[in-house]
Amino acid sequence: MTRLSDEHTEDLIRESLEHLAARAPDGAEIRDALAQRPSRRPTMALALVAAAVAIIALGVPLGLRAYTTVTPASPRNADWAVLPYKPGWLPDGFKELTRSAKPYPGPQTRTWSNGEVGQLRLTTTPLDDRGGPWTIAPAPNQIIVHGRVGMVAEVYGDGTMLTWSPDDTYLLSLTLVGVKDPRGVGQRIADEMVRDDRARVSGELRFGRLPTDLELSGVNLFMTVGGGATELEATRTGQPTAAAVVTASLRAERPDSGDATPVPLKVRGADGFFLPQRTGRLGQQDETVAVQVEGGRWLTVSGKRDQATLLDIANGVQLIPGDYSWFGKPPE
């Protein structure tokens, strides 16, 4: 394996992990791990994880040669809510739980669970053709998917991640947690991955008015005890993969007041409330505007903006028909 300098390797690992931490739902765990990173050189296990993450974050196409340089291809779905790939096979009992999508060059994610401890997460990331070709040495622990070299690594302590590029347009990352023989199962899922281009991330909310410095940057669909839930994210304009500045959600659960007292507020012509920054069940919470809408569910808008801005966004949010028909089903 061709070696990079220790200094350059560490810089690449750190930058790549930071990129992924900003995109991934569990990014806080990655950042916490970075903060606690020992000063000694990474072990081989960490190097494998970092290399896989580097491939995802930097958009590295994989080829068959031992040292490959490939210019990323540009064709991809113009509609980033369309999911380009799906498993053609999953172990018995695995059913879909969540879908999420971000605009280019952000990833799209789908998760499946067997209802017990097993979980599968498929992340599809468009190769970023703005950065030019990337060159990387292959990891020692390789997989072959339809003649293309990929890699496998341990992640999160008890998970296994397989990473490969099926078409020089997308990079796929499959994470398996709580699955027996994860490498073998992951290899079969990778071998039987097929184009989708029909499934969508189609929720029940649409932003209306947004401040001029913000734009839609993500849609997340998931199930709660009260039924389907939709969450929209908005980031600063031109920064689609950055952390959300404002989120809007529609779900059955009333927002957590934490240690704050709700302040009555008219929202969308109905009796709602405002919550200042507070500490709740999930830790520190941003300012929040909320109102119960038709059907008994709660529309919530929160983020790092003042009450007037959050109220204006909430008043402009559109409620539209959503699609949760995929929930609790195996791939079709």
pLDDT-based confidence at 66, cuts 50/70/90?
Answer: very low
Amino acid symbol at 280: G
CATH T-level topology, domain 78-195: Phosphorylase Kinase; domain 1 (3.30.200)
Q: Which of 1-5, 53-57, 128-132, 152-156 has the lowest mean pLDDT?
A: 1-5
- On whether the CB atoms of residues 120 and 174 are closer than 8 A, the answer is yes
Burial class from Cβ neighbours inside 10 Å (0-12, 13-18, 19+) for residue 206 reads: middle
Tell me, what's the pLDDT at 115?
A: 86
3-state secondary structure of 40: coil
The secondary structure element, H or E, covering residue 218 is strand 214-224
3-state secondary structure of 151: strand
- On whether the CB atoms of residues 140 and 47 are closer than 8 A, the answer is no
| Segment 235-252 mean pLDDT | 95
| Residues 205-319, CATH architecture | 2-Layer Sandwich (3.30)
Residues of the chain with CATH 3.30.200.100: 78-195
Mean pLDDT (the chain) is 79
Tell me, what's the pLDDT at 86?
A: 95
Give the global pTM.
0.75
Residues 15-53 have pLDDT tens digits of 444 443 443 434 343 334 334 433 333 333 333 333 444
Alpha carbon of residue 289 to chain centroid:
25
- On whether the CB atoms of residues 7 and 14 are closer than 8 A, the answer is no
